[in-house]
């Protein structure tokens, strides 16, 4: 008998103004945190106030993380980004899609969900500002009006200036 664990992966890609690919992180693991598992339990128990993905938060993290790889967070205790003022991508600006077992989008409910955020030019910082340093991100749901972190990743520094477009895809497998 095989066991299916809850897991997450992510991929970041940046494109220049001419549409040329300038960075591709390839698929990497991220961590589904305890709060995300508690949120899932709230759905199963029919908690009326449990709400699925409400935002993706992107943070600056700490400059001391600019080592490869950055230090891991504890999945049992982390519940917020280190950055107290992250850039927030609200749910209406995220594309949520079911994937089949070969990662092809489908309208049928499956155990795989892909979340895509696209940060176009001038997001999260205007082109005249210094590049926005990204070192962490998380997906957040809500229960009882409180944000519940679902998954989290610390990654090597990505500097997003206002001239490039970034696509961040996260896949959650249940």
| Under 8 Å between Cβ of 137 and 57 | yes
Mean pLDDT over residues 141-155, rounded? 94
d(CA 76, CA 121): 36
Look at residue 130 in the predicted model and tell me its pLDDT: 79
Q: What are the domain boundaries of the chain?
A: 7-173
Pick the more confident residue, 130 or 128: 130
Q: Give the lowest-confidence range in 17-26, 31-40, 65-74, 76-85.
A: 65-74
The total number of residues written for the chain in this structure = 174
Average pLDDT taken over every residue of the chain: 92
Per-residue pLDDT of 86-128, as tens digits, reads: 999 999 999 999 999 999 999 999 999 999 999 998 898 666 6
Give one DSSP letter per residue of 114-167, joined into a string. Answer: EEEEEE-TT-SS-TTSPPEEEEEEEEEEEETTEEEEEEEEEEEEEEE-TTSEEE
**H-helix or E-strand containing 42?**
helix 34-44
Look at residue 3 in the predicted model and tell me its pLDDT: 66
């Amino acid at each position: 008998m095989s066991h299916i664990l809850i897991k997450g992966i992510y991929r970041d890609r940046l494109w220049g103004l001419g549409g040329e690919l300038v960075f591709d992180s390839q698929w990497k693991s991220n961590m589904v945190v305890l709060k995300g598992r508690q949120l899932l339990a709230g759905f199963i128990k029919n908690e009326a106030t449990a709400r699925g993905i409400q935002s993706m938060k992107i943070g600056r993290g700490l400059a001391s993380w600019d080592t490869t790889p950055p230090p891991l967070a504890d999945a049992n205790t982390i519940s917020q980004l280190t950055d107290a003022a992250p850039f927030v991508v609200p749910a209406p600006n995220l594309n949520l899609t079911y994937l089949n077992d070969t990662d092809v989008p489908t309208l049928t409910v499956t155990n795989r969900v892909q979340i895509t955020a696209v940060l176009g030019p001038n997001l999260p910082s205007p082109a005249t500002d210094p590049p926005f340093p990204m070192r962490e991100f998380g997906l957040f749901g809500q229960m009882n009006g409180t944000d519940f972190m679902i998954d989290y990743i610390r990654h090597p520094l990505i500097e997003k200036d206002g001239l490039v477009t970034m696509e961040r895809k996260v896949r959650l497998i249940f």
